[in-house]
Amino acid sequence: MVEIPRELTIGWLRRAYATGAAAPRQVVEEIVRRAEESADYCVWVQPPSMELVEPFLVTLSESGPTPETPLWGIPFAVKDNIDIAGVPTTAGCPAYAYTPQTSATVVERLVAAGAIPVGKANLDQFATGLVGVRSPYGECRNALNPDLISGGSSSGSAVAVALGMAAFALGTDTAGSGRVPAALNRLMGFKPPLGSWSTAGVVPACASLDCVTVFAHSVEDVRAVDAVARGFDTACAYSRFYEETAQASCELPDAICLPSEQPAFYGDFAHVYKDSWDATVEALRVAAVERGIVVRAMDCSYLNEAAAVLYDGPWVAERWADLGSFVETHPGDVLPVTESILRSGAREELTAEVLFDAMHFLQECRHRAQLDLADAVLVMPTCGGTFARAQVDQDPVGANSQMGLYTNHCNLCDLAALALPGVEAADSLPFGITAFSLAGDQRYLMGFAAELATHLE
């Protein structure tokens, strides 16, 4: 048997299985060992174990790989607000825990395709946070620098992939939770268009905006997971029909849009992130010229204004509508910072009039984005900086708000997004960018990453 690499990819595993150089059981045993070895990173709520995985291994051994199981033997992590049948779901709150009888639709589809769920990953409680430290199961540490935040809320999912405990991982994304951890742990993070992946079996944060996401090391792996996970689901009220051929394809955009104003950077690493952004923009300009792609400036001020609606406007009331009754009936069981955010959704000033004003404004933003991003992608920093975990402890709300500066607008404006590594200006301090497209144009995101990402290495 071959030595299993630290960076697990779908491509490597497929080749190893096909040649007999590795077997799923051997891979899972190594993942269990790695999970035990890295316990102080606080990656897991339900860590990988042979007992948990054994039923899936038995099924794989009975069937063997087939054309209907393109993810045969591929281990993946599941954020602990997404159901796996027979495994407790906590959403980062022990008092909230329940044991589902059925798996979330996306998990069912992946398992049917031969993938192996190896454990439930840590998260910011109730998927409310972008920092990765808001969990009673411990502050999930950054895979590259444990003193820094891992990003949230899908913290454990990203770190599980970055530390070689899964080939890919499921997260969720309402405000940026499937993209910020990708940037901070040198991964790709794909946030599909709203409704293209089912959210049935997912604990809601803001049900109308929630997306299930994937973390992986390459665009090829992202596409392999997306091909299995996406599709209309009758069990999901937010599921949408998309033209599948267009969603599955990979195509270069006609234009790359860049913010017309220099992005703002923050924190102790602001200068490093600015240098990385500038180097990334230059690399993209060179790559675009080589391929005949137009690079143009875009006024992103309306996206910034839209982003403010999520927490400063009435949409925070949706979080309270989803979770308020639990908070009210379980005093002391929710982390204080999480409870304060959820309770802000019950403010008296969030009237129906305020809600409709916000809805009308967001519709204008979506319409404008339809015009600005026709056959194009918009590229922005995923984050404008990062923080030490100790710094977030001192200013949990302020630090979290800054981490969402370039992410919060996405779902409100009905965009798809793919986070990927940019040009790095310092070791162990990864910098990431995000490409945004219209909901029906995710093919441009995949083409952008496949054709241009090599220029950013």
Residues that are catalytic: 79, 153, 177
Asked whether 145 and 153 are in contact (CB, 8 A), the reply is: no
d(CA 437, CA 256) in angstroms, rounded, equals 10
Is the bond into 153 cis (omega within 30 degrees of 0)?
yes
Asked whether 80 and 121 are in contact (CB, 8 A), the reply is: yes
Give the SS3 label for residue 13.
helix
Amino acid 217 reads H
Asked whether 188 and 218 are in contact (CB, 8 A), the reply is: yes
Give the SS3 label for residue 426.
coil
d(CA 161, CA 143) in angstroms, rounded, equals 9
| Pairing, β 415-421 against β 168-173 | unpaired
Amino acid 433 reads I
CA atoms within 13 A on the CB side of 284: 29
Structure tokens at 111: 């398992």
Contacts of 84 (CB under 8 A, 6+ apart): 78, 100, 103, 104, 107, 117, 120
| Pairing, β 415-421 against β 432-438 | antiparallel
Instruction: Say how many Å lie between the first and final Cα of the chain, rounded.
Output: 31
Q: What is the radius of gyration, based on Cα positions, of the chain?
A: 21
Give the SS3 label for residue 256.
strand
Contacts of 125 (CB under 8 A, 6+ apart): 91, 92, 93, 134, 135, 136, 334, 335, 338
To 10 degrees, what angle do helices 24-37 and 50-63 make?
160
Residue 249 to residues 108, 244, 252, Cα–Cα distance (Å): 24, 9, 10
* Look-up of token digits 């393109």: 70
| Pairing, β 294-298 against β 116-121 | unpaired
* Residue of 272, 219, 248, 290 lying closest to 453 (CA atoms): 219
